Amino acid sequence: MFKKTIFIYCILGVAILIIVGLISVIFNINTQLNEKEKVPEEIIISENPHYELELVKADLKTYGYLSDHVIKDYVKAIEECYEEYKVPIGLMHAVITIESDYRFWIEHDLVTPKELGYSVRAVGASAIIWELWKDTLITNKVADLRTDLFLPYVAIKSSGVILRYLIRDEAGKGYDNIVNRVLIRYYGAYLQSRYDKTIKITSELWVKRMNAYLKQLNTLKKGKIRK
């Protein structure tokens, strides 16, 4: 009788170990599946926005013509563009550096966008052509007048809206190099020089990273703006 009882307890012990093992395997499988499902979201937040903003701030402090107040406005606007429109901080910084080196007071050289058919000047740090983008900027409540684009904060927020619109438009067409398409359209004409300048101040690897980010951004439909 005693031996039979021991045998039964042994069988129960083995059964419990098997059940615990099965539960552990199932839990691990579910964990792995959940991690796979989260991959796109992890890619979206793989940037370290605080670190990248600090890099931008450090760069801006090397410009002798920008006051602390103006730098603060720039950094705040870039951060909001990332949070609201999901425009990568590195992309924003590259665009403004290429277009103006953050000189907010300038009017740019005359250009003739094919969408307009006449010559105009882009203005401000973001080099935005008001005649081309005014409806989009007014609709998204970031600027009301052409002269608003000379304000550092408004210039960056306006650039964020335009970049987000172009990202959505170009990503939807299935291009592999979304960065290239966005940058050559940004100025209101298909200028390859904008992309070439970006490569000079960044790298091919940086562009690949941006393209991966933008494709995921478009898939998850983050950072919506109104056309």
* Average pLDDT, integer, range 158-174: 90
Least confident of 22-31, 55-64, 105-114, 159-168: 22-31
- Same domain, yes or no: 17 and 60: no
Residues 164-173: contacts with CB under 8 Å, at least 24 apart: 164/81, 164/85, 164/86, 164/87, 164/223, 164/224, 164/225, 165/136, 165/225, 165/227, 167/87, 167/214, 167/217, 167/218, 168/218, 168/225, 171/214, 171/215, 171/217, 171/218, 172/218
Distance CA(111)–CA(117), nearest Å, equals 10
Statement: residue 190 has pLDDT above 70 = no
> Is residue 226 in a domain?
no
Task: Count structural domains, the chain.
Answer: 2
> Is residue 43 in a domain?
no
* Average pLDDT, integer, range 99-114: 92
pTM higher than the cut 0.85: no
Distance CA(166)–CA(210), nearest Å, equals 14
Q: Are 75 and 56 in contact (CB under 8 A)?
A: yes
pLDDT tens for each residue of 31-54: 443 443 333 334 344 458 888 999
Distance CA(80)–CA(86), nearest Å, equals 9
Distance CA(23)–CA(29), nearest Å, equals 10
pLDDT at 201: 79
* Average pLDDT, integer, range 6-35: 49
pLDDT at 33: 38
pLDDT at 112: 85
Mean pLDDT of the chain: 80
- Same domain, yes or no: 64 and 116: yes
pLDDT at 210: 85
- Same domain, yes or no: 53 and 23: no
- Same domain, yes or no: 118 and 30: no
* Average pLDDT, integer, range 52-67: 94
- Same domain, yes or no: 20 and 112: no
- Same domain, yes or no: 53 and 32: no
> Is residue 158 in a domain?
yes
Q: Are 191 and 55 in contact (CB under 8 A)?
A: no
CATH number for the domain spanning 103: value is: 1.10.530
- Same domain, yes or no: 65 and 164: yes
pLDDT at 120: 93
Range of the domain at 133: 48-220
pLDDT band at 200 (very low <50, low <70, confident <90, very high): confident
> Is residue 33 in a domain?
yes
Tokens encoding 123 = 């203005």
Distance CA(51)–CA(153), nearest Å, equals 20
pLDDT band at 55 (very low <50, low <70, confident <90, very high): very high
- Same domain, yes or no: 101 and 212: yes
> Is residue 42 in a domain?
no
Statement: residue 227 has pLDDT above 70 = no
* Average pLDDT, integer, range 89-110: 93
